[in-house]
Structure 1
Amino acid sequence: MAKKDRQQMEIVERGDIFFLYRPRVGETDPESLSDVQRFFVVLRPEHAKKVRLLVVGRKRLPDAHEHERNWGFVSAIAGSAAALEKDLREETYDTKTRGRQRLPAARPAGEGRYLVALLNGQLHLSYALELPERPSEVQRAFKIAPQASFALSVKNPEKPSPPGLGLEQDQEPDYPDRLQREFRGRRFAREDIKLLDVQGAEFILVGARTDPEKAYNIDLDVEKEDERHSEMLRELKMTKSRHPIEPLFSGEWA
């Protein structure tokens, strides 16, 4: 990156990033993306009181090398990572036509460090994995590379969504006036990460870099982790009895 670009880059947020997936209803032995209902990303900023649970479309990250773009939305905002765990547990419910249905618990699929930087007026979300130590089939399926960066833009709820994308009107975010003004009438805002601090916020991720530490001259502060020291299991209060943890350490489906 040119020296001029480095001077125009401002790091606005750092923290822990967690990747999870939830199998489809009734699926007890997922083996591929077709067996998955949703793919989640948790952003836990340092020194912040809000933790974000994101749902990413296509049930995977966009390919950074191919500069793919994926839509997503903020599913929940909580005061702690542990408070989100209840939304990720197994659920059972009754239907008139199929009887009792079981929605499996979410599985952890990756853990690492992230930062959000403002570069030339555009937010970029960069991450580097700490777990699993050797990414395998699960990480490949969800396009969770050892590290990657994405341009991040947040959609204006007052503007229409592309056909086939977007939340229902009653699910869209209700921004306070001070945040809604950040859009300045534009379809997307690209400068303020606080726009993701509202449930229902919609965003676009566009693959940007496969080596953000080198490309942006940044340090993602990764540390060597294992099961005993996993931030994900500790902060989300994930227990083996509720959430199969094999994908996080071996990269194998569970």
Structure 2
Amino acid sequence: MAQIKGTGILERGNIYFLYRPKVQKEQARGERDVERFYMVLSPEGKNIFREIIIGQKALPGIRKKERNWAFVKNVTRQAKELEEEFGELEYSTKTRGEREVPAARPAGEGIYAIVRHDNHTHLAYSLELPEQPRQVQRALNIATEGSYIISVKNPGKTSPPGTGLKSGQKAGYPQELLAAFRDRRFADADPPELLDYPGTELMLIGAEEKPGEELGIGLSTDKETGASADIFTDLKLNRKEHPVKPLFEGKWE
């Protein structure tokens, strides 16, 4: 059983990565064909799933200390809702008729921890599938393991022009969680319950390639196979509808 041990751990659980090809694309042949890139957090002991959309369609580069926006699109206790979200979609347009959006493709799974470190918080993870990052994972910046400084944006503060969610889309926190911001523009992901609200805006900053050494935690992964992959049992994804080569072989589909 996968384990995460160490001091300063605020939350631990399973992490999943998926991407969706662009409209009318039967398959993606590279990062230019990606419409959306998703990260799903399934925290241990909470029986919830957080669907997070990553900006720029890739994780921020760790070595270059890149930063990237993300936001929580959905929080649910029902994995079925995610299957509806990640499944093939159809919609009508006045000019082009019926349009099809391909189903999302699983691109990685592993374990994660939100960790308090010095005066900030980190999101650290370690992959279980695929065993080694390949073409798809390299394009999406999904490394074997990594760590990002994670900050939560105060929904009451403005964003730079052209960035961030509209006011009606932002998280509606109860007063006890708003207190975590102390009127600042950003707060640490402490408590992690700040991520439990759709519309939560996040900033991820590449921090460490080997989080265990820097954060003092142990990320002990399991050897997963096609039969045991949690992304299908936990998220209830239908293997026939979601091409699996990106997950097991790192090849675009």
8 Å contact 1:16–1:45 — kept in the other structure?
yes
Secondary structure, in 3 states, of the residue corresponding to 2:247? helix
- Distance in 1 between residues matched to 2:215 and 2:151, nearest whole Å: 19
* Structure 1 segment 169-248 matched on structure 2, within 5 A: 169-190=167-188, 191-248=190-247
How far apart in 2 are the matches of 1:81 and 1:250? 25
In structure 2, the partner of 1:98 is: 96
1:52 counterpart residue number: 50
Structure 1 SS opposite 2:56: helix
Shift of 1:208: 0.3
- Corresponding residue of 2:39: 41
Q: Does the CA-based 8 Å contact 1:134-1:250 persist in structure 2?
A: no
Partners in 2 of 1:156 and 1:112 — Cα distance? 29
Distance 1:189 1:50 in 2: 22
Which residue of structure 1 lines up, in the alignment, with residue 132 of structure 2? 134
Question: Quick one: distance in 1 between partners of 2:191 and 2:62?
Answer: 22
For residue 120 of structure 1, what is the aligned residue in structure 2? 118
Q: What's the CA shift string for 1:13-47, capped at 9, x where partnerless?
A: 01000000011111112111111111000000110
Unaligned runs of 5+ in 2: 1-5
Computed over aligned residues only, the root mean square deviation of the Cα atoms, in angstroms, reads: 1.2
Distance in 2 between the 1:173 and 1:237 partners? 27
Mapped contact 1:123–1:192 kept (Cα < 8 A): no
Q: Is the 8 A contact 1:50 1:80 kept in 2?
A: yes
- Structure 1 residue 82: deviation in Å? 4.2
Aligned position for 2:150: 152
Query: How far apart are the structure 2 equivalents of 1:56 and 1:196?
Result: 14
**Structure 1 residues not aligned, in runs of 5+:** 1-6
Number of residue pairs aligned between Structure 1 and Structure 2: 247
Secondary structure of 2:199 counterpart: coil
Does the 8 Å CA contact 2:117/2:215 hold for their aligned counterparts? no
Q: In 2, are the aligned partners of 1:126 and 1:148 still within 8 Å (CA)?
A: yes
Distance (whole Å) between structure 2 residues aligned to residue 154 and residue 92 of structure 1 = 33
- Distance in structure 2 (CA, Å) of the matches to 1:241 and 1:235: 16
Of the candidates 82, 107, 118, which is equivalent to residue 84 of structure 1?
A: 82
After the TM superposition, which of the residue ranges 72-81 and 213-222 deviates more from structure 2?
A: 213-222
Instruction: For 2:88, give the aligned amino acid.
Output: E
Runs of 4+ with deviation above 4 angstroms: none
Match of 1:4 in 2: none
1:54, 1:170 → 2: CA distance? 18
Residues 189-243 of structure 1 deviation map (CA, whole Å, 9 limit, x = unaligned) = 1132211110000000000000111222211121100100101111111122211
Deviation readout 1:160-195 (Å, 9 max, x if unpaired) = 112221011211111111111211100001132211
Deviation per CA, 1:30-79, whole angstroms, max 9, x where unpaired?
Answer: 11111111100000011013210000101000011111000010010011
Q: Distance in 1 between matches of 2:64 and 2:132?
A: 23
